[in-house]
Structure formats: C-alpha cells, structure tokens
Amino acid sequence: MCAAASNSPVISFRQASYQAPRGALLLDALNLEVSAGATLVLLGRSGAGKTTTLKLANRLLAASSGDVLVEGKPVAAWDPILLRRRMGYAIQDVGLFPHYTVERNIGLLPAVEGWPAARIRERVRELLALVGLDASLGARLPRELSGGQRQRVGVARALALDPPVLLMDEPFGALDPLTRAELQTEFAGLQKRLGKTVLLVTHDLREALLLGTEVALLDSGRLAGRYSPSAFLSTQDPLAAAYRQAFAVDGSGIPGSSMEPSGAGRGGPA
C-alpha cells in the first residue's frame, strides 16, 4: 500500500452513498475519515449502514455516488485483489476453511503471495504467539478449537501479511460474555503494540468505548455523530443518550451490560 502523506487520512468517505440493487438506500452521503493508527468504531443498530461502510472500503461494494479513498487514492483505481490483501478482514463468524488446519488457514494469503514454506511456518508461529495461542494448535482443524480460539485464529489470519489496515466486522459478537470481554481487552493491548489503522463495526457500546479512539454513530444510513469515547459519555445528543441508557453506562464509562440495546437486533443489512 502506498505511503500516505503525514496527517492525511488512511481511509476517506466523501459524500459516499450506497443504494442496494433492489433500491434501498443503505448509506446516505457519508463523510468520514480514518486517521493512521486510529481505531474508528462504527456503532449502530442493525441496518444503520455499518457493514456497508466497511465493504465500501475494500471494494466488496462500489459506492453508488460520492467517493471512497484509501491512502488518498480512489478505491476504483486500486487493483481490488491487491487492495483486499493489504487490508486485513476479521468477521464475526471467522470464516475459517473447515478442512484446513489452523496453520494452513493463517498461512493462506502468504502462500498465495508465493512465500516459501519455511517463512510461512515461521510467520504462523509468530502470529499464534501474538494472539495468545500455543504453537501446537497449528495442526488442529477449526472444529477442534473453542469459539475464542477460532476468533483468535481469525485475527491472526487477518494479520498474516502485516497489513496497515484492519477491517473488523463484529469480530467478537458470537462469543459468550466472558470470552468476549477477555478478547476485547487482549485486542486493545495488541492494537497498542501494533498501531494498525482499524475500522471496527459493532452495536456494543462497551466494545466501542473500550476499543475505539473515536466512535462514529450511524443511524439509518447516516452519520449521526462522531465522538471521542469521553465525548460520547457527555454529549446530550438523544441517540447517544439512548445508547448510554440502554447499556446502563454512566459518566465513568462502565457499562452495566454487554447486551445489545433495544431494537439493535432488528433484521436488515448492517
């Protein structure tokens, strides 16, 4: 990925809209920038436009209007395969190949890139250690792992080519509350060490406040507000206040629950 000029955003959405093939407007004139090394959390209920925004960044979807830029270059000008290989992608259901070992799952993109086998094995060992997994797990199949272990493998795979950008779509959403809290804390520490640029989707306010350097609140395809975690706790915006109430969050930022707010699970694209 080309180097960006100092202080320039890594990802930019400029009046970016996306209209689904059946006519629904899923994202409406989004203006948003992600700075180098930042973790920008896209917070909102289902149907708010979070996942759509993520997919516009790596060309899984093409904007109906407006512009999306990566390192100052329109995504349409990028080779899509190169762009996606340079942006690690971690999702809620992990998406591991069930008949591949952990080692093969993590080393898949390095193998596609033509890395020699010895280098791939060393990289897999590095990544397993980085995400807190024993090297012996490399020989196992995904079904032989716990949910938390599979999610760690998913993060390791997203980091395989050491991409400057991580796109994360509800990466811890399918886990039990204790495992989820553990992985959130571990990822926060990992991000401090790695300094990646992260665009993370969630409907969990606790997760947003813990992991985000900034929180972009989306509602019905529009940007409803952008806040630092501390500003989110003090803003009088009604939607932000509703989130604080739903998650029982007070001014200290300690949520009383990691359950999604009322209505957050309604059907429709994210």
Cα separation of the two ends of the chain: 28
Give me the pLDDT at residue 7, please: 65
Q: What is the pLDDT of residue 252?
A: 63
Contact yes or no for 228/54 (Cβ under 8 A) = no
Give the pTM. Answer: 0.86
Helices (H), the chain: 50-57, 80-85, 102-106, 108-112, 117-130, 147-158, 177-194, 205-211, 229-234, 238-246
pLDDT score at 171: 83
| Count of C-beta atoms within a 10 Å radius of residue 52 | 25
Contact 15, 30 (CB under 8 A): yes
pLDDT along the chain (270 residues), means of 10: 60 96 92 95 93 95 96 94 89 82 94 94 94 92 90 91 93 80 88 92 92 95 95 93 87 49 39
pLDDT reported for residue 251: 65
Among 33, 120, 105, smallest CA distance to 72 is for 33
pLDDT at residue 268 in the model: 41
Question: Which pLDDT belongs to residue 163?
Answer: 93
Contact 14, 67 (CB under 8 A): yes
C-alpha dist (Å) from residue 27 to 92, 112, 119, 130, 145: 21, 33, 42, 36, 37
Rg for the chain, CA atoms, rounded: 18
Closest CA to 169 of 50, 269, 264: 50
What contacts 177, CB < 8 A, 6 or more positions away?
Answer: 258
